[in-house]
């Protein structure tokens, strides 16, 4: 029987390793499965991150490190990552030629990786490729990545030790380091030390560190000088890496845990997006939300809130239906505080919630014997609603309320209802943030309204009834609570 890919990989078969990394790069489901099978074999390799501007001599230096590590009988896997290149081919060519000295060595594996989609994706594929090399039993895994900006930080963060390479020159690069790279650098290297200005560059790094009072106690990143082409300083760099490794055994666990957290969050985010796109949003719906954002009909926060409301059990639709307008429904807490004057419950991301169920009764006070007396529910004070000739009393169930409604005048809607159907469930009230906007949208959708204009309901709310002919027989009240009503 043919050995499985994971078995061959664990036996450090270079073709299996290459195939595994390709599966990961292609985001093939087999890639994720493979990670599942090899994961428990990982955690043995020491991950060395090497980052620096283009042409700083990273690959030359990595080549030297490989040679040194091989002398010490250590196996080495290398991932050369180029976030700026859309093709892995270019990077492969340069690095392969430079590192071809190790081509015949089974203790060395070199692979180039380049941008696929967004950068977060590259950081992830790099992390997973590193797992593959780790499981394959390489003692040291080197991740070489171009650049010194924030973009590369995510990639370098995956390493157990981060080496930042600079070259003698303008000093601009040292300035550029301030963003992000500072915190992740464990070792600085000024390569091309044979060139003019190496001392100045080293001095400006030292100065920058001295100015940075945010630097934690303990390990102080040393600034080394190397000449990758001649190999000068490489032994010291390797010794420094070993020294860092030895002194960081206590912190290594925390560092790897932080890395796991970053990856778990990244995977969760991706799976959530996938779920949104495949299960929640209909075909083309994502684009329609984008259209509405482009047309300035809705802001991205509101759009995201409404879209995610669908995941939490509601229905989502970007166009023309209920749920379409952010101003109409309770908002989640993802919007900026000043985005909406709605004072509806924060954190309630349901597109519509039931405010209350109206129950027509002959006599509100008499009905309380059951609702408060027997069921033990609390009720508020009775209130007369002139616009409907009714007296109402709300009973609190802890969730949606019950509205007990009694007619105060012959011929009122409740009076007619009682006459025709007798006491019982009369209507369901849905809470909306902007009743007028909701009316407009329903009318535009061809739904008939009993009230085209909102009127005053209990407790200062604004209400409007939808015609039951268009709601399958259910009388629906739209209710904009007082606090939201006042704001408009």
Ligand X SMILES: Nc1nc2c(ncn2[C@@H]2O[C@H](COP(=O)(O)OP(=O)(O)OP(=O)(O)O)[C@@H](O)[C@H]2O)c(=O)[nH]1
Q: Which residues bind Mg ion (CB under 5 A)?
A: 58-59
- Smallest gap from residue 73 Cβ to ligand X (A): 25
**Could you give the CA distance from residue 345 to residue 453 in angstroms, rounded to a whole number?**
25
**Could you give the CA distance from residue 234 to residue 311 in angstroms, rounded to a whole number?**
54
Rounded to 10 deg, the angle between the 14-25 and 29-38 helix axes is 130
- Smallest gap from residue 59 Cβ to ligand X (A): 3
**Could you give the CA distance from residue 223 to residue 38 in angstroms, rounded to a whole number?**
37
- Residues 194, 206, 266, 440: which binds ligand X (CB under 6 A)? 194
Is 89 a binding residue for ligand X by CB under 6 A? The answer is no
Strands of the 161-166 sheet, one edge to the other: 108-114, 76-82, 140-146, 46-52, 161-166, 187-190, 223-225
Is 102 a binding residue for ligand X by CB under 6 A? The answer is no
Is 54 a binding residue for ligand X by CB under 6 A? The answer is yes
Is 59 a binding residue for ligand X by CB under 6 A? The answer is yes
List 385's β-bridge partners, or say none. Answer: 390
**Partner interacting with residue 269 (select from ligand X, Mg ion, none; CB below 5-8 Å by kind):** none
Q: Which is nearer to ligand X, 56 or 418 (CB)?
A: 56
- Smallest gap from residue 80 Cβ to Mg ion (A): 6
Place of tokens 């030629």: 97
- Smallest gap from residue 55 Cβ to ligand X (A): 4
| Residues 195-224 contacting ligand X, CB under 6 A | 195
| Residues 256-285 contacting ligand X, CB under 6 A | none
- Smallest gap from residue 95 Cβ to ligand X (A): 7
Q: Which of 395, 360, 397, 380 is nearest to 477 (CA)?
A: 360
What does the DSSP assignment read for 84-136?
Answer: T-S-HHHHHHHHHHHTGGGTT-TTEEEEEEE--SSHHHHHHHHHHHHHHHHHT
**Partner interacting with residue 191 (select from ligand X, Mg ion, none; CB below 5-8 Å by kind):** ligand X
Burial environment of residue 269 by CB neighbours within 10 A (0 to 12, 13 to 18, 19 or more)? exposed
Residues 6 or more apart whose CB falls under 8 angstroms from that of 60 comprise 98, 191, 228, 229
Q: Which of 293, 296, 285 is nearest to 321 (CA)?
A: 285
Q: Any idea how long the chain is?
A: 488
Specify the stretch interacting with ligand X by CB under 6 A; choose among 50-58, 284-292, 297-305, 306-314: 50-58
How far out from the chain centre does Cα 291 lie? Answer: 22
- Residues 23, 31, 49, 60: which binds ligand X (CB under 6 A)? 60
**Partner interacting with residue 397 (select from ligand X, Mg ion, none; CB below 5-8 Å by kind):** none
Tokens matching residue 232: 């000068």
Is 49 a binding residue for ligand X by CB under 6 A? The answer is no
Q: Which is nearer to ligand X, 54 or 373 (CB)?
A: 54
**Partner interacting with residue 37 (select from Mg ion, ligand X, none; CB below 5-8 Å by kind):** none
Specify the stretch interacting with ligand X by CB under 6 A; choose among 53-61, 122-130, 201-209, 396-404: 53-61
Specify the stretch interacting with ligand X by CB under 6 A; choose among 58-66, 257-265, 411-419, 469-477: 58-66
Cβ-closest position to Mg ion = 59
Whether 34 and 5 have beta carbons less than 8 Å apart is answered as yes
Whether 106 and 138 have beta carbons less than 8 Å apart is answered as no
**Partner interacting with residue 54 (select from ligand X, Mg ion, none; CB below 5-8 Å by kind):** ligand X
- Residues 51, 88, 126, 191: which binds ligand X (CB under 6 A)? 191
Specify the stretch interacting with ligand X by CB under 6 A; choose among 16-24, 47-55, 278-286, 304-312: 47-55
Is 86 a binding residue for ligand X by CB under 6 A? The answer is no
Burial environment of residue 65 by CB neighbours within 10 A (0 to 12, 13 to 18, 19 or more)? buried
Contact residues toward ligand X (CB under 6 A) are 52, 54-60, 94, 98, 146, 191-192, 194-195, 227-229
């Amino acid at each position: 029987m043919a050995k499985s890919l994971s078995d061959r990989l664990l036996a450090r078969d270079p073709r299996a390793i290459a195939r595994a990394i390709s599966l990961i790069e292609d985001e093939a489901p087999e890639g994720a499965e493979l990670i599942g099978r090899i994961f428990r074999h990982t955690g043995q390799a020491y991950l060395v991150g090497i980052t620096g501007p283009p042409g700083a001599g990273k690959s030359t230096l990595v080549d030297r490190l490989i040679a040194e590590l091989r002398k010490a009988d250590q196996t080495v896997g290398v991932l050369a990552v180029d976030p700026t290149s859309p093709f892995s081919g270019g990077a492969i060519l340069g690095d392969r030629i430079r590192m071809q000295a190790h081509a015949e060595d089974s203790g060395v594996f070199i692979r180039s990786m380049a941008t696929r989609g967004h950068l977060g994706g590259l950081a992830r594929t790099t992390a997973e490729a590193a797992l593959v090399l780790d499981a394959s039993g390489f003692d040291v895994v080197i991740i070489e990545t171009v650049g010194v900006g924030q973009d590369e930080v995510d990639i370098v963060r995956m390493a157990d030790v981060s080496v930042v390479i600079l070259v003698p020159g303008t000093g601009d690069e040292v300035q550029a380091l301030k963003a992000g790279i500072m915190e992740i650098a464990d070792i600085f290297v000024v390569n091309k030390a044979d060139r003019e200005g190496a001392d100045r560059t080293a001095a400006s790094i030292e100065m920058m560190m001295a100015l940075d009072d945010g630097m934690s106690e303990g390990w102080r990143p040393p600034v080394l000088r190397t000449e990758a082409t001649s190999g000068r300083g490489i032994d010291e760099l390797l010794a420094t890496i070993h020294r860092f490794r030895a002194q960081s055994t206590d912190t290594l666990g925390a560092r790897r845990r932080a890395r796991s957290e970053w990856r778990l969050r990244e995977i969760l985010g991706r799976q959530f997006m996938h779920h949104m796109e495949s299960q929640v949003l209909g075909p083309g719906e994502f684009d329609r939300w984008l259209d509405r954002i482009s047309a300035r009909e809705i802001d991205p926060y509101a759009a995201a809130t409404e879209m995610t409301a669908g995941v939490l059990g509601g229905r989502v639709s970007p166009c023309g239906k209920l749920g379409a307008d952010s101003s109409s429904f309770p908002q989640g807490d993802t919007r900026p505080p000043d985005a909406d004057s709605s004072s509806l419950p924060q954190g309630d991301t349901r597109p519509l919630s039931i405010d209350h169920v109206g129950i027509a009764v002959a006599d509100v006070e008499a009905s309380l014997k059951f609702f408060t007396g027997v069921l033990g529910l609390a009720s508020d004070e009775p209130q007369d609603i002139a616009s409907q000739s009714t007296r109402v009393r709300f009973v609190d169930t802890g969730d949606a309320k019950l509205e007990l409604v009694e007619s105060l005048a012959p011929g009122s809607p409740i009076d007619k209802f009682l006459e025709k159907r007798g006491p019982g469930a009369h209507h369901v009230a849905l809470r909306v943030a902007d009743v007028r906007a909701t009316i407009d949208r329903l009318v535009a959708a061809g739904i008939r309204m009993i009230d085209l204009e909102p009127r005053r309901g209990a407790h200062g709310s604004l209400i409007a009834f939808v015609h039951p002919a268009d709601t399958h027989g259910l009388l629906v009240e739209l209710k904009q609570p007082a606090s939201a009503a006042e704001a408009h």
